[in-house]
Structure formats: structure tokens, C-alpha cells
Amino acid sequence: MSSGNIIEQGLVNKILYLLRLSFKPLCVCLCLFYLYGIFYLLLLPDEERPEDSKPAWCEEYHPNLTYSECADVAGG
């Protein structure tokens, strides 16, 4: 065996070791990111339905109209 071959194998082994060493934290970070996404979607507050915001919109923009008149202006 030549010394060049031994040095090359040692270099390859070191590179493989570094790749294995960096792969584990990458997997852990990816798992934590997915867990964060799942919890974000589960705990995300529901958006208000458009029907719920009509009374507030009517009171703010058309206080002098009745609710049915304001609903006509609002589009439904």
C-alpha cells in the first residue's frame, strides 16, 4: 500500500464522520420544525366568518341605517 492511498482513506473517513455528525442535528431540527408546524395549525385561532363581522361593519360605517338596510348595502 502506498502512503497516498492511506491518506486518502483517512480523508474520506473524516469526511464521512463529519457528514454523519451534521446529519443528526439536521434531522432533529427538521423534526422540531414539523412539530412546530403541526402545533401552529392546531392552535391557530379560527378566522371570523363574514357573517359575524357584518353587525360591527354596519355600526361603524352606516350607523343611521337599520340592519336589513345595511345588509343590503353590504351585499347580502
pLDDT of residue 70: 82
Q: Read off the pLDDT of each residue in 48-56 and give the average, rounded to a whole number.
A: 67
pLDDT of residue 2: 58
Sorted by sequence, the CB contacts under 8 Å of residue 75 that are 6+ apart come out as: none
The residue with greater pLDDT, 3 or 27, is 27
Which letter does DSSP use for residue 45 in this model? P
Sorted by sequence, the CB contacts under 8 Å of residue 47 that are 6+ apart come out as: none
Cell of 51: 357573517
Model confidence pLDDT, tens digit, residues 28-49: 999 999 999 998 888 887 666 6
User: Whose grid coordinates read 391557530?
Assistant: 44
- Residue 44 φ/ψ, nearest 5 degrees: -70, 130
Model confidence pLDDT, tens digit, residues 3-15: 556 668 888 889 9
Ranges of each domain in the chain: 1-44, 47-76
